[in-house]
Amino acid sequence: MGTPAAAALKKARPDLHVAWVVEDRSHELLLGNPSIDEVLVAPRSRWSRMRQEGRYLAALRELYAFLRDLRRRRFDIAVDLQGRLKSALTAYASGAPVRIGPVDAGEGSKVFYTCAGPVGRQTRRASERYLRILEPLGVPYEPSDMHVQVQAGDMDAAQAVLARCGVARPFAALCPATTFRTKFWTAQGFAAVADGLYQEFGLRSVVLGARGDVPLALEIASLAKAPVAVAAGQTSLRTAAALIALSSLVVSVDTGLLFVALAVGTPAVGLFGPTMHSHLADERLVVVSKPFACAPCYRNPTCANRDCMTAITPRDVVAAAESALERFGALPRPARI
């Protein structure tokens, strides 16, 4: 989501060497971005496994070595886009004499900055927040959107996945999985949406996700009456981005693949309950969300059944899909289903 900041920096100062520190789970999406000269990958997944295995000292050694290498690069400026403690500490550990973050940073992060970008509650859209953070560097604010560079090799890999699944275009991509259970919808709901997309628009659904999401994807496919292809566990993140770029529509919970859809310009339906969606203001996104006084609750729900998510019906989602498709003149209609 912060890619507009890199583009703005390069536009203002083409001579700058822009290095991006990112966790290993999402680093693939930054590869090939013309505004980023170097991607520095923090292997957080490996460090987490080490801690789970009780190898605390080894994890600390690797973390120390990573931060030591970061400092040896002698960066002049560190920009913390997240405004969280871990990202602020990374900026501080870089040794950069100028460290910038959002003025409303949380978790005590502001003590690690030398100056702060003028963002606040009135700055709601994520891309705008990130661009405003750069203003102390003399980078003027110009509206810009997220961008993921999908390359020819990614498209070839995506076409191969579609061929293995027996799917031809047009199709819809379903993204039902996310890190936190509070943001999940239901397998039954996604299966009903797959049926609706097939019956109403002739769109076959392809379920995307990581290897750990395969059981959920298979459950959706087994519950649906319409044919549903399971590509979960069969793609890299870049191949998934290419599949999303090839799709006519994305239906997703609040997860990274929804952001990818917006970054590659695919119309999307986003299902939101315990999290905010105003920061994703985008003409290609149709939000489905029910008003609940307790929302947003993020990771700390007061209910037992994720009421805000289960209140969403398949009919709500299919109607939103029709709106998204109509809005962009890409509404397929089956000759006969």
Domains of the chain (ranges plus CATH)? 3-137 (3.40.50.2000), 152-327 (3.40.50.2000)
- The mean predicted confidence, pLDDT, of the chain is 88
- For residue 240, pLDDT over 90 is answered with yes
Of 264, 281, 263, nearest to 272 by C-alpha is 281
Give the Cα separation of 257 and 88 in Å (integer): 25
The whole-number pLDDT of residue 135 equals 85
pLDDT of residue 160: 96
In the chain, the percentage of residues whose pLDDT exceeds 90 is: 56
Judged against a pLDDT cut of 70, whether residue 325 lies above it is answered with yes
Q: What is the pLDDT at residue 68?
A: 93
- Give residue 211's pLDDT: 92
Over 50: is that where the pLDDT of 162 sits?
yes
What average pLDDT does the segment 45-59 reach? 91
Q: Write out pLDDT tens, residues 186-236.
A: 999 999 999 999 999 999 999 999 999 999 999 999 999 999 999 999 999
In the numeric block, which tokens belong to residue 290? 């029910």
Closest by CA position to 239, among listed 136, 165, 178: 165
Residue 292 has pLDDT above 90, yes or no: no
Asked whether the predicted pLDDT for residue 121 surpasses 80, the reply is: no
Q: Which residue has the higher pLDDT, 331 or 186?
A: 186
Q: How confident is the model at residue 329 (pLDDT cuts 50, 70, 90)?
A: low
pLDDT at residue 195 in the model? 98
- Find the mean pLDDT for residues 304-320: 92
Band of pLDDT at residue 99, cut at 50, 70 and 90: very high
Tell me the mean pLDDT in the region 259-271.
Answer: 91
User: What is the per-residue pLDDT for 337?
Assistant: 38
In the prediction, which pLDDT does 6 show? 86
Q: Residue 144 has what pLDDT?
A: 63
Across 272-291, average pLDDT: 81
Which residue blocks in the chain are alpha helix, DSSP H? 3-12, 44-52, 56-72, 85-93, 126-133, 152-165, 187-201, 214-223, 237-246, 256-264, 307-310, 314-327
For residue 252, give Cα distances in angstroms to 90, 193, 249, 303: 31, 11, 10, 22
**Residue 80 — left, alpha, or beta (φ > 0 → left; ψ -120 to 50 → alpha)?**
beta
Residue 135 backbone phi and psi in degrees, to 5: -60, -35
Mean pLDDT value of segment 103-130: 77
Q: Determine the Cα–Cα distance for residues 21 and 75; give it in Å rounded to an integer.
A: 12
| pLDDT at 333 exceeding the cut of 80 | no
So what's the pLDDT on residue 335?
46
**Average of per-residue pLDDT across 166-170:** 92
120: pLDDT strictly greater than 70: no
DSSP letter at 293?
T
Provide the 10 A C-beta neighbour count for residue 67.
Answer: 17
